[in-house]
Amino acid sequence: MRQIVLDTETTGLSAENGDRIIEIGCVELVKRKLTGNNRHYYLNPERDSHEDALKVHGISNEFLKDKPKFVAIADELLEYLRGAEVIIHNAPFDVSFLNKELERIGKQSVRHCVGKVTDSLVMAKEMFPGKRNSLDALCDRLDVDNSGRTLHGALLDAELLADVYINLTRGQNSLMIEVSAAVANDERLPLIDLSQIQLPVLAANPIELEAHDKLLVDIDKSSKGQTIWRVNNLPIAGTTRKL
């Protein structure tokens, strides 16, 4: 399946309250490789951007006045997205804006056109729970160069997100490639009887137990006593005392 990494910039934060799309950036991936078959649109939103939004994207109202309206590019955009897996960071936000624009011109929602929508923010939160998972934070964590990103821009952000997505899914993809290659080559993968394998059990030493004990106490304090071992009155692992 083709993959399209998509990002938008908008006049504000609420499509339901009348905010509009001012920029759309799309980057195509085929077999996880950038193809260069990208799409980039600036749009006349027929309204001014909020001050806070201007600080984020820096696209002036004056610049957008002679740009096409969404209706002028809708068919081309939908044909480009048709059947693809669309990858978006915080997908509900961008999808809500796209759907509202499509509704205004009497067209069906995005999900009637694309193969599926994947939210890279949900993926990142599952992979890095409790950490910042903004695009900038993920670029830093996954060694994606975002030094040219001083303001938000839809095409640049889509390009960065494409690199982030590839790095997020690299391990999973390597495993899938190995299995797929074996199946494609009709290789007979050997069956292994795991019951015959004796796995060594390495006990934690006193220093490791003490560090683990301290970590659990810190987690309990951070959760204000709502950890499962306190709620269920369980002992801390590695000790005989209870919290």
DSSP structure string for 53-93: HHHHH---HHHHTTSPPHHHHHHHHHHHHTTPEEEETTHHH
Rounded Cα distance, 216 and 210, in Å = 10
> What are the DSSP E strand ranges found in the chain?
3-10, 21-30, 33-34, 39-42, 85-88, 116-119
Q: Which of 50, 57, 89, 152 is catalytic?
A: 152
Token pair in block for residue 18: 């009348």
Q: Is 152 a catalytic residue?
A: yes
- Quick one: 22 exposed, middle or buried, by C-beta within 10 A (0-12, 13-18, 19+)? buried
* Rounded Cα distance, 26 and 86, in Å: 9
Long-range contacts of the stretch 223-229 (C-beta < 8 A, 24+): none
Annotated catalytic residues are: 152
